[in-house]
Amino acid sequence: MAVDQPLAADNSFEEHDDIDEAALAAVLRIVPLGAAMLAGSAVALAVLGYLAIYLFVFLPRGVVG
C-alpha cells in the first residue's frame, strides 16, 4: 500500500467508526468516573511517595545551602 496515495477507503475510517451512538451516549453518562478514580489514585500515591521521600530521606540527610 502506498503511503502517499491513501485510498478513498482510508478517508471513510476517519469520518466514521463502528460505535453505536446510543451506546456511546449511555456510556458517557458514567465516564469519566472510572478515569477520575484511576488517575486520582495515581496522583495521590505519587504525592504521598514524594512527601515521604522528602521527609524521611532528604531532610534527615542534613541541611545544605
Partner 1 sequence: MSEGLQQTHERRVLGTELLWAFGVGVLVTATLSLIVFTALTRGINPPSNVERVDPKTLHLSGEFAEQNLGTVVAADGIVTARIIATQFMFAPHCIALPQGQPVTLRFASPDVIHGILITGTNVNTMVVPGYVAQVHTEFARGGELLMPCHEYCGLGHSEMWANVQVLSAGEFKPDRDGRLTCAQR
Partner 2 sequence: MRNADRLCLAHFWLAFVAFAGAAMLGAWQMWVRSPLGAHTGTPGQYYMSVTAHGVAMAYVLSTFFIMGFGYFVAVTALHRPLSGKGWAWTAFVVGVIGVAMTLVTIALGKASVLYTFYPPLTASPWFYIGLILVVAASWVWCVLMLVSMAAWKRENPGRPVPLAMFATVANAVLWLWTTVGMAAELVYQVLPAALGFVQTIDVGLSRTLFSWTLHAIVYFWLIPAYIAYYTMLPRAAGGRLYSDTMGRLTFVFFLIYSLPVGLHHLLMDPEHGNGFKLIQVLLTAFVTAPTVLTIFTIPASLEIAGRLRGGRGVFGWIAALPWDRPMVLAAGLSFVMLGFGGLGGLINMAYGMNAMIHNTSWVTAHFHLIYGGAAVIMYFAIAYEIWPRLTGRQHESLVPLRWQLWLWFVGMMTMTLPWHWLGLEGQWRRVANFNYDNPLIASWGPLVIVSLGGGLLLLASALLFVRNLAVLHRGVVPASARPLYALAVDPPQRLPAALNGFGLWNVLVLLSMLLAYGFPIAQFVVAPSPTAIVHRAE
Q: Which residues bind partner 1 (CB under 8 A)?
A: 21, 24-25, 28, 32, 36, 39-40, 43, 47, 50-51, 54, 58, 61-65
Quote the least distance from Cβ 63 to partner 1, whole Å. 6
Closer of 6 and 40 to partner 1 (Cβ): 40
Give the cell for residue 33: 468516573
Q: Rounded to the nearest 5 degrees, what angle is found at the Cα of 63, between the Cα atoms of 62 and 64?
A: 120
Give the cell for residue 2: 502506498
51 interface partner picked from partner 1, partner 2, none, CB below 5 to 8 A per type: partner 1
